[in-house]
C-alpha cells in the first residue's frame, strides 16, 4: 500500500504483558487465568526484502494480523515521525495487490498506555467501576475518568456501558428494556484486566473467548472513541448498511456507518446505520454485539481475527447476546430494539411503481393492463412526479388530475395506492400560499442553523426547509398535512425518503471527521452536522432521521386509517422495523445488482426489519427481458416485492414483455400469492418473537460450515428453499441442498434434451449436504420444501383480498419418520393489535396428532379445502373423514384429498390409512 492510502487498521497488544488482577466474574468467584486472551505472538512479521528502520523489539513481537491501527485518519501521509510522535510502532509493508488496503504501517506497541480499572463494586444488577487514564492519549479533549457499568440483564444478555464519569454526554434516545433483577444462571462469564483495562467474555459451555478488549488500548476523547477486540472466528455478518457479500471479509476491511443518499455501490456507506454484528463460532454457536450509538462510525476488521469500533461522539454502550444459536441471537437483539410491526396482509402482495409514468392516466393504463392479463397486483405506486413542482402534499392538477379517481378504482378492485413523500419542504412560495411551510415555520418545526435561523437547503422543489422529527410537535404537524392531503387523495401507504442535497449544494461543514464517509464530509448530500434539532445537534441525530420520520409517519397513518400502517423507508436505524419496511435503494438493471439484493435482504433480516426488498428488475438503466424475468422470479420471494424503475427508460412491468416472459412472471407471482398464508404466518412470528422471515441457510444448519458463506440462496422461515438464477444465458443453476429430504415445490418441465428428465410434483431429493445442479429454464424458479414441514397455502387470486377468500390448501412434506409440523396465524389482515386483543386464529398442524378447534372473530374464515401429503411411498388403502371413506388421488409419492373442513369450529377427525398406518388430525388454538 502507498503511504497516501493508509487504512484504518493496525496492531495487536501483547496480552502476555498485561497484568491481571483478580476480578470477580458473574458468580462472584475469582477470575480464572486467561488462556485464550493472549495473542499468538511470533517475531518477524516483516516481509523479507522490504527496507525497514531499526525497530524496538516490542514492535517486532506483534504479528501483522494483530496490528491495530494507531493512525486511522484518512488523507494523511503517515510518516515514521508522525507515527512515533504518538508513541506507536512504524513498519512499512509491501502494498497489497489490486490497490486493496493492507497491513497498517503505524500500530500500537504492547505497552501503549490505556485506562486502569481503579475500582469495581457490586450492584444489584452487576458491577460499577472507575477507569482512570494517567497518560494523555493523542486526541484532543481526552477524558481522564470513565464510568463502567455492567448489568447481567438476562441469562443470555449482557450490557456493558462506558461513559464520562464526570459529565453527561449525548446518548441515543432509544427505548430499551430495563432489567429488574440480576441474571441467575448466565451462560457467559465475565473477567477483567485491571491494568491495562480490558473486558474478557467467555461462553461457559465451551470456554470460548468471545470478546477480549485487551488487544489494543481504549481511547475515549470527546470526539473520538475507540475500542478493539479479538474475535473467536472469521464468520461475521451485519454492520450495515453496505453492499457486498453477506459474510464480511476480515482482510483489512473497514465499514463506515453514516446514512448517505447514494446509489448502492461497494465499499461505501449507504442509506442506514446498523452497528450490530452476528458472529458464528466454531461448532455452530453464535453471539451478537450491538453498539447503541448513532454518531458517525466505522468498524475495522482484520485477519487476527479482530475488530475495532470507532465513533466520533456519544458513549460506548454495548449489548452482547449469547444465543446460543443464530435465530436466538436475533430474537435477543430484537428484545432490546423492539420487535417489528405486523404488516397489513396486502403489503405482502405485489407492488408496481415507476418514476416517469407521466400522468395518472398512464398509471391507470398500467393497472388496467395488469388486470387484463390477470397478473396479481395489490398496490400501485407513484414516484415524485405526481406532485406540483415537487412540493409535498400537492398534486399536479393537469397531469395527475384523475389520481383521486384512480385511487377510488383501485379500492373498488381490492387494491391499494402508495405515494412518495420527502421531508424537504419548499420555502420559496409566496407568503400564505403553502400551508406546510408557513405552518411549520410558525411553529418552529424545522432544522435550524447554529445561529437559530431556519436551515435552508436545496432539493427537488428548490430551496427547502427540513422537518425536525426529533420534535414531538412536528409529528402533529406531519399528521395534519397528511390528513389534509388524504382528504383529496385517499392513499393507503407512504414511501418516505430522507433529505438529500444535490452535488454542489452541500452546506458548510465546520466539524472534523475521522471516519471515512463517501464524499469526504459529514455534510455530503445532507444538511450540515452542526444543524440544530430539538433533541440535539444533527451531528448526533443524523443517523436517526429516517427512524424518526418513519415513527411520525406510521403514527399518522394509524390515526388516519385506524388500521395497520404501511411505510417503506430508505434510511434506517435499529428499531426501524417497529415502524416501517425498507427497500434497498436506487439499484441498477444489472445482474450483479440482482445478486447483491440477496445479502441485502438477509442483512436486514438480521437487523430486525423483515419487510425488505430491492427494486425488482432494477431502478436505473434499461433491463433486458431475460434479466427482468429472472429478477421477477427472485423478487417474488422478497418479503417486500416491488417492481420499480426510473424515468426515461423503457417500462418493465410484466405487461410489456413477450407472452412467454409475461406468463413466466405471472406464474411466479401466482406462486407467491398461493404462499401468502405461510408468509403472513412468518411475519406474525417475527412480530411476536423476532424470528426472521427471509433467512440465511446457516440459521437452520449452523453446524454445516458450507452454509456459512452462502448468499445466493435463502429460506423462507425454516421450510422453503429458494434457489434463483443469477447469471445470464443459462438454463440450470447450482445450489446447495443441506442434509435431509427436500421436495420439489412444483413440476419441472421436461428438458430431456439436456439430460434432466422429468420431475413430478413432490418429487424428493435426499441430500447428504451437497451442491446440486438443477434444471432452470427461463420459466422456472427452483423451490424446495424441507422435510417435516406443513405449509398453509391458498388458491391464488389476482389480489391478496381475493386470495384470502379461498380455502386453505395444506402441503404436507413428510420426514423420514413420517412426521410433519406447521402453523397458521389468521386474522382480518388489517386491524391493529389483533394478537394482543385475541382477535385471531392460530392453528397448529401436526401429522402425529392434530385437529382443528378454536373460536374468535374471523375464525370461521379458516377452511381446509385440499390436503396434499408428500412422501407417501405406497398407495393408501383408504382415506377416512369422521369415520367415512372419502375419495383421494395418488401420484408417485403424493396423496391428495379434496375436502371442505371448517377450521376452527367443529373438529372433525381426519384419518388417512396409509401402510404403515398414519393418522392425521388438525388442532388449533385461538386467542393466545
Answer whether residue 128 shows pLDDT above 80: yes
- Predicted local distance difference test score (pLDDT) of residue 46: 36
Answer whether residue 103 is part of any domain. Answer: no
**696 in any annotated domain:** no
In the predicted structure, residue 9 carries a pLDDT above the cut 50: no
Residue 73's pLDDT is 85
The per-residue pLDDT for 889 is: 78
Cα separation, 452 vs 568, in Å, equals: 32
Please give the tally of structural domains in the chain: 2
Grid coordinates given for 449: 442553523
Mind giving me the DSSP string for 393-458? T---TTTTTTHHHHHHHHHHTT-EEEEEE-SEEE--SPTTS-HHHHHHHHHT-B-B-TTSSBP-EE
What is the distance between the alpha carbons of residues 161 and 52, in angstroms, rounded to a whole number? 41
Which pLDDT band holds residue 845 (cuts at 50, 70, 90)? confident
Helices assigned H by DSSP within 533-616: 538-541, 545-561, 591-606
Per-residue pLDDT at 43: 30
The per-residue pLDDT for 832 is 97
Mean pLDDT lowest among 36-50, 429-443, 699-713:
36-50
Residue 517 has pLDDT above 60, yes or no: no
Among the ranges given (57-71, 397-411, 417-431, 861-875), the one the predictor scored with the smallest mean pLDDT: 861-875
Range from 199-203, 248-252, 266-270, 468-472 carrying the lowest mean pLDDT: 266-270
pLDDT of 7 over the 80 cut: no
Query: Is residue 544 helix, strand or coil?
Result: helix
- Per the listing, cell 405552518 goes with 439
What the block records as the C-alpha cell of 272 is 442506514
Structure confidence at residue 99 (pLDDT): 58
Whether 686 is covered by a domain: the verdict is no
Q: Look at residue 57 in the predicted model and tell me its pLDDT.
A: 86
Lowest mean pLDDT across 152-156, 283-287, 789-793, 923-927: 923-927
Mean pLDDT calculated for residue range 588-611: 97
Lowest-pLDDT choice from 72-81, 120-129, 518-527, 899-908:
899-908
Least confident interval from 52-56, 76-80, 528-532, 772-776: 52-56
Q: How far, CA to CA in Å, does 928 sit from each of 564, 676, 843, 852, 906? A: 20, 22, 11, 15, 19
> Mean pLDDT over all residues of the chain?
85
pTM (two decimals): 0.90
The angle subtended at Cα 821 by Cα 820 and Cα 823, nearest 5°, is: 155
Kindly indicate the confidence band of residue 266, based on its pLDDT and cuts at 50, 70 and 90: confident
CATH number at 190 reads: 2.60.40.1760
Whether 470 is covered by a domain: the verdict is no
Q: In this model, does residue 26 exceed pLDDT 50?
A: no
- Better-scored residue on pLDDT, 526 or 28: 526
pLDDT for res 879: 67
695-734 pLDDT, tens per residue? Answer: 999 999 999 999 999 999 999 999 999 999 999 999 999 9
pLDDT, tens digit (0-9, with 9 covering 90-100), for 324-356: 999 999 999 999 999 999 999 999 999 999 999
Q: How far is CA 194 from the centre of its chain?
A: 37
Q: State percent of the chain over pLDDT 90.
A: 72
- Among 320, 337, 354, where does a domain finish? 337
Cis bond upstream, residue 916 (ω within 30) = yes
Q: Is residue 509 part of a domain?
A: no
pLDDT of residue 818: 82
Q: What size, in residues, is the chain?
A: 928
pLDDT score recorded for residue 856: 33
SS (H, E, C) 86-107: CCCEECCCCCCHHHCCCCCCEE
| Position 542 confidence tier, pLDDT thresholds 50, 70, 90 | very high
- C-alpha to C-alpha distance for 560 and 479, rounded to whole angstroms: 8
- What is the distance between the alpha carbons of residues 66 and 252, in angstroms, rounded to a whole number? 11
Q: Which pLDDT does position 520 carry in this prediction?
A: 54
The last residue of one of the domains, among 282, 317, 337, is 337
Confidence grade of residue 916 (pLDDT, cut at 50, 70, 90)? very low
Measured CA distances, 336 to 244, 329, 340, 597, 836 (Å) = 27, 11, 12, 27, 19
pLDDT tops 50 at residue 748: no
Local confidence band at 918 (pLDDT 50, 70, 90 cut-offs):
very low
Q: Is 304 within the bounds of a domain? A: yes
Of 349, 228, 248, nearest to 291 by C-alpha is 228
**pLDDT value at residue 352:** 98
CATH number at residue 871: 2.60.40.1180
Q: Is 924 part of any domain?
A: no
Question: What is the domain range of residue 833?
Answer: 720-898
pLDDT above 80: residue 513: no
Least confident interval from 353-357, 541-545, 681-685, 869-873: 869-873
In this prediction, residue 263 has a pLDDT band, given cuts at 50, 70 and 90, of: low
Higher pLDDT, 634 or 514: 634
pLDDT of residue 345: 98
CA pair distance 814, 820, nearest whole angstrom: 5
The model's confidence at residue 910, banded by pLDDT at 50, 70 and 90, is very low
Residue 758 confidence (pLDDT) above 60: no
Taking the mean position of all CA atoms in its chain, how far away is CA 399?
37
925, HSE (Cβ side, Cα atoms, 13 Å): 7
Q: Which of 337, 360, 389 is the last residue of a domain?
A: 337
Higher pLDDT, 123 or 890: 123
Q: How far apart are CA 644 and CA 651, in angstroms?
A: 9
Q: Compute the average pLDDT of residues 673-700.
A: 98
Residue 500, domain member (yes or no): no
pLDDT score of 860 more than 60: no
Residue ranges of E strands in 680-754: 694-695, 714-716, 720-723, 732-737, 740-744
* Digit-coded pLDDT (tens) for 59-106: 999 999 999 999 988 778 899 999 999 999 999 988 776 656 789 999
Give 388: exposed, middle or buried? Use CB within 10 Å, 0-12, 13-18, 19+: middle
pLDDT of 807-843, one tens digit each?
888 888 989 888 899 999 999 999 999 999 999 988 8
Confidence category of residue 852, pLDDT binned at 50, 70, 90:
very low
Q: Pick the closest to residue 493 from 557, 446, 555 (CA basis).
A: 557
CA-nearest of 873, 864, 925, 918 to 894 is 873
Q: Is the per-residue pLDDT at 892 higher than 90? A: no
Spatial separation of the C-alpha atoms in residues 382 and 378, rounded to whole Å = 14
What pLDDT is recorded for position 874? Answer: 75
Q: Is the dihedral of CA 229, 230, 231, 237 positive or negative?
A: positive
Burial class (CB in 10 A: 0-12, 13-18, 19+), 480: middle
The predicted structure's pLDDT at residue 762: 54
Amino acid at each position: 500500500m502507498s503511504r497516501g492510502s493508509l487504512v484504518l487498521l493496525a496492531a495487536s497488544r501483547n496480552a502476555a504483558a498485561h497484568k491481571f488482577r483478580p476480578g470477580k466474574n458473574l458468580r462472584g468467584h475469582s477470575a480464572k487465568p486467561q488462556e485464550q486472551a493472549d495473542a499468538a505472538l511470533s517475531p518477524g512479521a516483516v516481509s523479507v526484502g522490504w527496507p525497514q528502520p531499526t525497530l524496538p523489539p516490542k514492535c517486532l513481537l506483534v504479528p501483522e494480523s494483530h496490528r491495530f491501527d494507531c493512525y486511522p485518519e484518512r488523507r494523511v501521509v503517515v510518516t515514521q515521525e508522525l507515527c512515533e510522535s504518538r508513541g506507536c510502532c512504524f513498519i512499512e509493508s509491501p502494498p497489497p495487490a489490486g490497490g486493496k488496503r493492507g497491513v497498517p504501517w503505524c500500530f500500537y506497541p504492547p505497552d501503549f498506555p490505556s485506562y486502569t480499572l481503579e475500582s469495581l463494586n457490586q450492584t444489584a444488577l452487576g458491577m460499577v467501576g472507575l477507569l482512570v487514564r494517567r497518560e494523555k492519549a493523542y486526541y484532543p479533549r481526552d477524558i481522564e475518568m470513565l464510568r463502567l457499568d455492567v448489568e447481567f440483564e438476562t441469562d443470555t444478555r449482557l450490557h456493558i456501558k462506558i461513559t464520562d464519569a464526570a459529565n453527561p454526554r449525548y446518548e441515543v434516545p432509544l427505548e430499551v428494556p430495563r432489567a429488574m433483577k440480576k441474571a441467575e444462571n448466565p451462560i457467559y462469564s465475565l473477567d477483567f484486566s485491571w491494568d491495562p483495562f480490558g473486558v474478557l467474555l467467555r461462553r461457559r459451555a465451551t470456554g470460548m473467548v468471545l470478546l477480549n478488549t485487551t488487544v489494543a488500548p481504549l481511547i475515549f476523547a470527546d470526539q473520538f472513541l475507540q475500542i478493539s477486540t479479538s474475535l473467536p472466528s472469521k464468520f461475521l455478518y451485519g454492520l450495515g448498511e453496505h453492499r457486498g457479500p453477506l459474510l464480511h471479509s476480515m482482510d483489512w476491511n473497514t465499514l463506515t456507518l453514516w446514512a448517505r443518499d447514494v446509489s448502492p455501490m461497494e465499499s461505501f456507506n449507504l442509506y442506514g446505520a446498523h452497528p450490530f454484528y452476528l458472529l458464528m463460532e466454531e461448532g455452530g454457536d453464535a453471539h451478537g454485539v450491538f453498539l447503541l450509538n448513532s454518531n458517525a462510525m466505522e468498524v475495522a476488521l482484520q485477519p487476527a481475527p479482530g475488530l475495532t469500533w470507532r465513533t466520533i461522539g456519544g458513549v460506548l454502550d454495548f449489548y452482547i447476546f449469547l444465543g446460543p444459536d443464530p435465530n436466538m441471537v436475533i430474537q435477543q437483539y430484537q428484545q432490546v430494539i423492539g420487535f417489528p410491526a405486523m404488516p397489513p396482509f396486502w403489503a405482502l402482495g405485489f407492488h408496481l411503481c415507476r418514476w416517469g409514468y407521466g400522468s395518472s392516466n398512464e398509471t391507470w393504463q398500467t393497472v388496467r393492463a395488469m388486470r387484463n392479463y390477470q397478473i396479481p397486483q395489490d398496490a400501485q405506486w407513484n414516484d415524485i412526479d405526481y406532485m406540483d413542482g415537487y412540493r409535498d402534499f400537492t398534486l399536479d392538477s393537469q397531469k395527475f388530475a384523475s389520481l383521486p379517481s384512480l385511487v377510488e378504482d383501485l379500492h373498488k378492485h381490492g387494491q391499494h395506492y402508495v405515494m412518495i413523500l420527502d421531508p424537504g419542504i419548499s420555502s420559496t412560495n409566496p407568503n400564505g400560499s403553502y400551508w406546510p411551510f408557513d405552518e411549520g415555520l410558525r411553529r418552529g418545526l424545522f432544522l435550524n442553523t447554529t445561529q437559530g435561523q431556519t436551515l435552508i437547503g436545496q432539493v427537488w422543489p428548490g430551496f427547502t426547509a427540513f422537518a425536525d422529527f426529533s420534535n414531538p410537535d412536528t409529528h402533529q404537524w406531519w399528521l395534519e398535512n397528511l390528513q389534509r392531503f388524504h382528504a383529496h387523495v385517499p392513499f393507503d401507504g407512504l414511501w418516505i425518503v430522507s433529505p438529500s442535497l444535490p452535488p454542489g449544494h452541500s452546506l458548510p461543514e465546520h466539524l472534523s471527521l475521522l471516519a471515512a464517509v463517501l464524499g469526504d464530509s459529514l455534510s455530503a448530500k445532507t444538511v450540515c452536522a452542526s444543524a440544530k434539532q430539538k433533541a440535539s445537534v444533527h451531528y448526533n441525530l443524523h443517523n436517526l432521521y429516517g427512524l424518526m420520520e418513519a415513527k411520525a409517519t406510521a403514527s399518522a397513518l394509524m390515526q388516519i386509517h385506524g388500521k395497520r400502517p404501511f411505510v417503506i423507508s430508505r434510511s434506517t436505524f435499529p428499531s426501524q422495523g417497529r415502524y416501517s419496511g425498507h427497500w434497498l435503494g436506487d439499484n441498477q438493471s444489472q445482474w450483479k445488482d440482482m445478486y447483491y439484493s440477496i445479502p441485502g435482504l438477509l442483512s436486514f433480516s438480521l437487523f430486525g426489519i423483515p419487510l425488505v426488498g430491492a427494486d425488482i428488475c432494477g431502478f436505473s438503466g434499461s433491463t433486458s427481458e431475460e434479466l427482468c424475468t429472472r429478477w421477477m422470479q427472485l423478487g417474488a420471494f422478497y418479503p417486500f416485492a416491488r417492481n420499480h424503475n426510473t424515468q426515461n427508460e423503457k417500462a418493465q412491468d410484466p405487461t410489456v414483455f413477450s407472452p412467454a416472459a409475461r406468463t413466466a412472471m405471472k406464474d411466479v407471482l401466482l406462486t407467491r400469492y398461493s404462499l401468502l398464508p405461510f408468509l403472513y404466518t412468518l411475519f406474525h412470528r417475527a412480530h411476536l418473537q423476532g424470528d426472521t422471515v427471509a433467512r440465511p441457510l446457516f440459521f437452520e444448519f449452523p453446524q454445516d460450515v458450507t452454509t456459512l458463506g452462502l448468499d445466493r440462496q435463502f429460506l423462507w422461515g425454516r421450510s422453503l428453499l429458494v434457489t434463483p438464477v443469477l447469471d445470464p444465458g443459462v438454463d440450470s443453476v447450482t445450489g446447495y441442498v443441506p442434509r435431509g429430504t427436500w421436495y420439489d415445490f412444483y413440476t419441472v418441465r421436461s428438458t430431456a434434451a439436456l439430460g434432466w428428465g422429468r420431475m413430478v410434483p413432490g418429487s424428493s431429493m435426499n441430500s447428504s449436504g451437497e451442491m446440486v445442479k438443477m434444471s432452470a429454464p427461463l420459466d422456472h424458479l427452483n423451490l424446495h420444501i424441507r422435510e417435516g414441514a406443513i405449509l398453509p397455502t391458498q388458491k391464488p387470486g389476482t389480489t391478496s383480498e381475493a386470495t384470502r377468500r379461498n380455502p386453505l390448501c395444506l402441503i404436507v412434506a413428510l420426514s423420514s419418520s413420517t412426521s410433519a409440523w406447521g402453523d397458521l396465524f389468521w386474522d382480518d389482515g388489517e386491524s391493529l393489535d389483533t394478537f394482543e386483543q385475541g382477535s385471531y386464529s392460530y392453528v397448529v398442524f401436526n401429522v402425529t396428532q392434530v385437529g382443528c378447534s378454536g373460536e374468535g372473530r374471523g375464525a370461521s374464515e379458516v377452511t381446509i379445502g385440499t390436503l396434499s401429503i408428500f412422501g407417501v411411498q405406497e398407495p393408501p388403502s383408504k382415506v377416512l373423514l369422521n369415520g367415512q371413506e372419502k375419495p383421494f388421488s395418488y401420484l408417485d409419492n403424493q396423496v391428495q384429498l379434496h375436502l371442505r373442513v371448517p377450521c376452527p369450529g367443529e373438529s372433525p377427525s381426519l384419518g388417512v390409512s396409509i401402510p404403515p398406518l398414519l393418522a392425521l388430525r388438525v388442532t388449533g388454538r385461538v386467542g393466545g
